[in-house]
């Protein structure tokens, strides 16, 4: 039986706007709001992330800041909600506290927002470290010192403190 090729569909013009550069006269606040709402419909974004994405598409930063503030006032964009979801998601993937905090700082969250989100998540970091270690290395003990060092580096990369995983290396 011959295989037939599936024809490629063209993307709608609204999705192609991201790669195009616009002149200041070619957009208005509604365009910025529409683009921001499309980003927020896919996933939560911090103010900083949303600003950076919109700045790539629209040159006027005052319109962007105004629209992001409107979205925040309407509770459509929330750094607090993003932080809580982010901690829950990343800890579920097996990342430790230090790794999660650093990622959140890079996304433009304040230390206060980070601390509040971590407190609300109520994660047992030692149990999470044990789970990540078990998933990666299983029950077998390290054969030599090089293997112990490799396992320790893995746990450090994942963002766990040494007191959370040191007992697992024995």
Burial of 34 per CB tally in 10 Å (0-12, 13-18, 19+):
middle
Residues 6 or more apart whose CB falls under 8 angstroms from that of 39 comprise 45, 50, 53, 54
Contact (Cβ atoms closer than 8 angstroms) between residue 54 and residue 64:
yes
> Is 2.60.40 the CATH number for 125-169?
no
Task: Report pLDDT for 4.
Answer: 55
Task: Report pLDDT for 2.
Answer: 58
What CATH architecture does domain 79-121 belong to?
Orthogonal Bundle (1.10)
How many angstroms separate the CA atoms of 19 and 89, rounded? 29
Mean pLDDT by 10 residues, the chain (170 residues): 51 45 66 94 96 93 94 96 96 96 96 96 95 93 92 96 91
How many angstroms separate the CA atoms of 25 and 87, rounded? 40
Task: Report pLDDT for 170.
Answer: 79
Domain locations in the chain? 24-73, 79-121, 125-169
Task: Report pLDDT for 5.
Answer: 54
How many angstroms separate the CA atoms of 36 and 54, rounded? 7
Contact (Cβ atoms closer than 8 angstroms) between residue 56 and residue 18:
yes
- Runs of H (alpha helix) within 17-169: 29-42, 47-57, 61-73, 79-92, 97-106, 111-121, 125-137, 145-157, 162-165
Owner of token pair 């109520």: 122
Is residue 16 within a helix (H) or strand (E), and if so which, with residue range?
Answer: helix 13-16
> Is 1.10.10 the CATH number for 24-73?
yes
Please determine whether the domains at 79-121 and 125-169 fall in the same fold group of CATH.
yes
């Amino acid at each position: 039986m011959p295989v037939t090729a599936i024809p490629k569909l063209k993307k709608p013009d609204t999705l192609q706007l991201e790669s195009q550069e616009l002149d200041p006269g070619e957009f208005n606040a509604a365009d910025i709001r529409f683009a921001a709402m499309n980003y927020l419909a896919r996933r939560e974004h911090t103010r900083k992330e949303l600003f950076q994405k919109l700045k790539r598409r629209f040159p006027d930063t005052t319109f962007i800041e105004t629209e992001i503030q409107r979205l925040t006032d309407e509770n459509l964009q929330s750094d607090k909600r993003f932080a809580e979801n982010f901690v829950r998601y990343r800890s579920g993937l097996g990342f430790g506290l230090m790794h999660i905090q650093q990622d959140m700082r890079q996304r433009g969250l304040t230390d206060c927002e980070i601390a509040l989100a971590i407190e609300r998540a109520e994660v047992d970091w030692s149990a999470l470290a044990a789970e990540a270690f078990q998933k990666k290395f299983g029950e077998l003990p390290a054969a030599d010192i090089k293997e112990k060092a490799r396992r320790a580096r893995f746990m450090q990369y994942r963002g766990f403190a040494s007191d959370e995983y040191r007992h697992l290396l024995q």
